[in-house]
Each structure stands twice: as structure tokens, then as C-alpha cells.
Structure 1
Amino acid sequence: MKAALVRSFDAPPRCEDVPAPVPAGDDEILVDVLAAGLHPRVRSAADGSHYTSGGELPMVPGIDAVGRTRDGELLYFVAPDSALGTMAERAVVDRRRAVPLPAGTDAVAVAAAMNPAMSSWVALRRRIALAEGAAVLVLGATGSAGRLAVQIARRLGAARVVGAGRDARRLALLKELGADEAVSLDGAAGEVADRLARAAADVDVVLDYLWGRPSEHAMRALLTARADRARTLAWIEIGSVAGPDLALPSALLRAADLRLLGSGQGSVTTAGIVAELPSLAEEIASGALAVRARPVPLARVEEAWNAPVAPGERVVITP
């Protein structure tokens, strides 16, 4: 069969011939892959930088996909952490990690949205109990996952949602997605801190896709401007596109009720993540979440790998 194949962590995958996978366990079946999302998580696995990477090469990238069974059933599934991913004509599916989809579901839209949407959906349903009427700040709201996080926070009961990011074009689109306010993170640190303090000092939850220096400054700005510092602020670290580390002054932890959490593989069990898939798949399949997908044939995976994408767009490989 044809598959995207990574032979070096320093180069994008190429479409090559590989042996077809074979189901091994009682819960495994073979499906024809219809669509597999090119997510940041997929890129980091393919360049060896993800924290779960075992350094095994060659590898077929892809962590999830939509596929069709021999009987015509449509499934969204999550692949195990292995060298045999989902960017191929066929893939083995463990039914315990799969969700049936209604006939007629847009496979490309589901493949584009499930992974980025899962980050905020799982965080708000598994890492905390989001109170009805809470206020949420999304740091990094101009990326695909951040745009979906704005919508999901609203769908899950947030009364106020603030989105923050650098890209002015993408920030301008956030209010159409349900954000009450969009805050630019571009400019001098003091100016950015003032903007964040005015817009989001009293939020209940921060969904953080940035980390690094931007989060370091944002944390200080919010906590020092907070009207009631004893009111809990749940800061959920989801991504680290701005840097893997930050400096956290001990005084901030003593002077405010800051609760730092992470959300991802390990902090949430596989069973917990899988349990959230049906309800999230229903949201996406129903069209409740705005999704921008760009399908690209598997044969063009090498050129699509590092090609620029439009604001909020997600590349989906279609075998």
C-alpha cells in the first residue's frame, strides 16, 4: 500500500510503498483510511521532538484518522503510539479507541478538528469542572486549536471568553467564533500586560497553548491585577509553542490562588480521552464547531508538510 514514510527526523515524509498492516488482536480491524489530520502533534512526532517520541525510524506519521470498515461503517479512531501511524491507504484500528460516525459525516472535517478540539474539550471536562457562567482566557487563540478552544469554552458553559494571540488577521476573526474580546499579544511586554489585565484579570480558567515568556508575563499581569486574589485561577498548560519553560516567582503562588495543571497524554488517561471522543465527534459532525480543512492527496504529502496555511486552516491528508 501507499503511505507517508519518515526516514529521517530532518526531512518531511515521502509517499512510498510499504507493507500493509495486519490486525493482531481480537479488537483490531483493518480499515481504508479516508482522512488523516496533519496536526502539530504529528509534526513533532515526525521530527522526533515530541515528549513521547521513542526515536524509532522509519515511521508512518499520523495519530488519528477517519476510516471505513469492510462493511461500510465510518469510524474516527486514535492510533497507538507506534511507528505505524494513520497517513496511509489502510490502517489497523483498535475498536476500543474508535468512535462510530453517522453515515454522511464529512470525514475531512472530523479528521481536521478532532485532535485540535480534543485539547480544550478534554481539559475543560477532565482536568477541571468548568462552572456554568465561568470566564475563560485562551492564550494562543489564533491557532487552529485555540480557535476551537474559544468555541468549545462557550459550548461548555463559559459566560465570557477572551482570546489572546499575536496574529492581527486571525484575532479579528475570534469574535465571530464567540469571543467577547480579542487581545493582541504583540508589542512591548508592559503594553501587553496592561491589555491582558484590563480584559482578563478576573477569569476563572486559562487555556494556555503558548507557555514560555508570553505565559510568564501573562501570569504576572493577571494575578497582580486580580480583584480577589483568593479566587481560584485554574491555569491549564496545553501547548508550548512559545517555549518549553518559564520562570515562576514564588511570590505569585503565595499571593494568589493559582492552580497549575497540564492536560495531555499522561495527565489524562487513554481511557479518559477515549471516553470524551463520542460527544466531541457529535459536536463536530453536527457542524456546531467552525472548521477549516484543506484536503491534500497522500501523493503530495512531502510538499504539503511545511507549506503555509491560511488562518485557522488544518491540512488533512486524503489517501
Structure 2
Amino acid sequence: MYAAVVHTFDSVPNYEIFDLLQPSGKNEVLVDVLAAGFHPRVRSQANGSHYTSTNQLPLIPGIDGVGRLPDGQLVYFVTPDKFLGTFAEKAVIDLRRSVPLTENANPINIAAAMNPAMSSWVALRRRIDFQPGQKLLVLGATGNSGQMAVQIAKLLGASQVIGAGRDPERLESLPALGADATVSLAGDPKEAANRLGQAASEVDVVIDYLWGKPAERAMLPILMKRSDRSRKLSWIQIGSIAGPTAAVPSVALRSANFQVLGSGQGSVTTAGYLAEFPALIDVITAGKLKVNASPVPLSEVGNVWRAPVKNGKRIVFVPTI
């Protein structure tokens, strides 16, 4: 079969012939891959930097996809194997990590949306007791996952969603996705943190895709301006594109009802993720989330791997178009 293959962690995948994989467990089956999303999580998998990396090479990147079972059933699946993924014509999947799709489901949209949407969906439904009417800040709302988080927060009943990010064009697009207000993080970092404090002091939840210095600087300005510091603020750390560490001021934890927690593999069980798949798939299939998918032939993987992605599109690799 043809596949995208990583031979060294400092090089792009090569499109080449790879030995056809074979199922080995009683719940495994070989599927035809129809679409697989090119997520940031896949980049860290392919360069060996993700915390789940086994450093095993050669590696086929790709962590999820839409495929067709031998009996014709369409499924969305996540791969259990950390080094033989979904960027290939075929993939071995564990049926326990798959959910059936209806024939009217769009494989491209499902493959593009599930991973970025799942982060905030699971965070709000599995990590905290999120209630309709609560207010929410999305830190890093101009990325694909952040844009999904804005939409999902509204779908789940948030009374106010504030989107914060650096990209001015994407910030301008957030109200159309459901954002009630936006905050620019461009310019002087301290001034940006103060803007967040002014705009988001009354939120109940922060969905944080940035972490690092932006999160570190924003905590106290937000907390100190709250009208009631005893009202809980849950800060959910999901991504760390601005840095892997952030110093949490001790006074933030003592002077306010401030909860810092994470959401991701390990903090939520595999069973917990799987339980959320059907409802999220229904939302995507029903067209309730705006999906900016861009299908690309898998044979072009080497050419597009490091190319900038324009207009916030999510690349989806397909074996054939």
C-alpha cells in the first residue's frame, strides 16, 4: 500500500510503498482510509515531541480518520497504534475505538473537525460541570481548535463567549461563529493581559490553547477584577503553543476560587472520549459547526507538510481525489 512514512524525526514524511498491515487482535480489522486530518497533534507525533511518543521508527503519522470496513460500513476511528497511523491507503483499527457513520456523513468534514472540536467538547463535558448560562473565555480563539471552541461553547449553552487571539482577520471572523466579544493579544503583553482582565473578569471557564506567558500574565488581571472572587473560575489547559510551562501565582490560588486543570489523553479515559464521539459526530453531520476543510491527495504530503495553511483551513489527506 502507499503511505506517508517518517524515517527521521527531523524530516518530512515520504510518500512511498509500505508493507500492507495485517490485523493481529480479535477486535482488529483492516479498513480502507477515506480521509485523515492533518492536525497539530499529528505534527508533534511525526517529530517525536508529543508526550505519548514512543520514538519508534519508521512511523506512519495520523491519529484518526474515516474509513470503510470490509462489510461496507463507514466509520470514524482513532488509531491505538502510536507509530502506524492513518496517513495511508489502509489502516488497522480496533473496532472498540470506532463508531459507525451514516452514509450521508461527509468523510472530509468528519476527518477535519473531530480532532479540533473534541478538545473543547470533552473539556466542557468531561472535565468540569459546565452549565448552560455560564460565561467562557477562549484563549487562543484564532486557531482551528479555538474557533471550534467558540462554536461548541455556544452550542452547549454558554451565555457569553469571549474569543482572544493575535490574528486580526480571524478575530474579526469570531462573531460570526458565536463570539459575543473579542480581545486582541497583539502588541504589548502587559497591555494585552490588562485587556483580558477588563473583558473576561466575570467568566466561569477559560479554555486555554496557549498556556506559557500569555496565560501566566492573564491570570491575576482576570481574577483581581472579579466582582466575587469566591465564585469558581475553572481554567482548563488544553494546548501549549505559547510555551509548555506557566508560573501560577500563589496569590491566585489563595485569594480566589481558582481551579487549574488540564484536558487531554490521560486526564480523560479512552472510554470517556469514545462516549462523546456519537454526539459530536451528530453535531458535525447536522452542519452545526463551521468546518473549513481542504482535501489534499496523500501523494502531496511532502509538499504541503511545512507549507503555511491559509485562511484557517484544516488539511485532510485522502488516498485519491
TM bracket, shorter-chain basis: over 0.9
Q: Compute the displacement of 1:24 (Å).
A: 1.5
Q: Which runs of 5+ in 1 are unaligned?
A: none
Q: Compute the displacement of 1:94 (Å).
A: 1.1
Partner of 1:12: 12
Return closer, same or farther for 1:258/1:86 CA change in 2, 3 Å cut-off: same
Check conservation: 1:142, 1:166, Cα contact below 8 A.
Answer: yes
Distance, in Å, in 2 between the alignment partners of 1:194 and 1:140 is: 16
Q: Which has the larger displacement, 304-313 or 82-91?
A: 304-313
Partner of 1:105: 105
Partner of 1:3: 3
- What are the equivalent positions in structure 2 for 1:115-154 lying under 5 Å apart? 115-154=115-154
- What are the equivalent positions in structure 2 for 1:223-262 lying under 5 Å apart? 223-262=223-262
Partner of 2:290: 290
Cα deviation digits, residues 45-103 of structure 1 (max 9, x gap): 10011011111111000000000112221100000142110000001121111011110
Q: Compute the displacement of 1:193 (Å).
A: 2.2
**SS of equivalent to 1:55:** coil
Following TM superposition, the consecutive aligned residue runs of length 4 or more in structure 1 with deviations greater than 6 angstroms are none
**SS of equivalent to 2:99:** strand
Partner of 2:263: 263
Cα deviation digits, residues 121-143 of structure 1 (max 9, x gap): 00000001111100010000000
Q: Compute the displacement of 1:157 (Å).
A: 1.1
Check conservation: 1:138, 1:162, Cα contact below 8 A.
Answer: yes
Which amino acid counterpart does residue 128 of structure 2 have in structure 1? I
**SS of equivalent to 1:266:** coil
Q: Compute the displacement of 1:308 (Å).
A: 1.1
Partner of 1:82: 82
Check conservation: 1:63, 1:85, Cα contact below 8 A.
Answer: yes
Q: Which runs of 5+ in 2 are unaligned?
A: none
Cα deviation digits, residues 279-307 of structure 1 (max 9, x gap): 11111111110000111101100111111
Which amino acid counterpart does residue 171 of structure 2 have in structure 1? L
Distance, in Å, in 1 between the alignment partners of 2:83 and 2:189 is: 42
**SS of equivalent to 1:163:** strand
Check conservation: 2:142, 2:164, Cα contact below 8 A.
Answer: yes
TM-score by length of 1: 0.98
Q: Compute the displacement of 1:252 (Å).
A: 1.1
Partner of 2:185: 185
Distance, in Å, in 1 between the alignment partners of 2:2 and 2:312 is: 29
Q: Which has the larger displacement, 98-107 or 161-170?
A: 98-107
Coordinate RMSD, CA, aligned: 0.9
**SS of equivalent to 2:267:** coil
Partner of 1:216: 216
Q: Compute the displacement of 1:169 (Å).
A: 0.6
**SS of equivalent to 1:173:** helix
Check conservation: 2:59, 2:83, Cα contact below 8 A.
Answer: yes
What percent of counterpart residues are identical? 59
Distance, in Å, in 1 between the alignment partners of 2:310 and 2:159 is: 29
Distance, in Å, in 2 between the alignment partners of 1:18 and 1:199 is: 52
Which amino acid counterpart does residue 237 of structure 1 have in structure 2? Q
Partner of 1:318: 318
**Count of paired positions:** 319
Partner of 1:174: 174
Distance, in Å, in 1 between the alignment partners of 2:89 and 2:111 is: 15
Q: Which has the larger displacement, 217-226 or 176-185?
A: 217-226
**SS of equivalent to 1:172:** helix
Q: Compute the displacement of 1:195 (Å).
A: 1.5
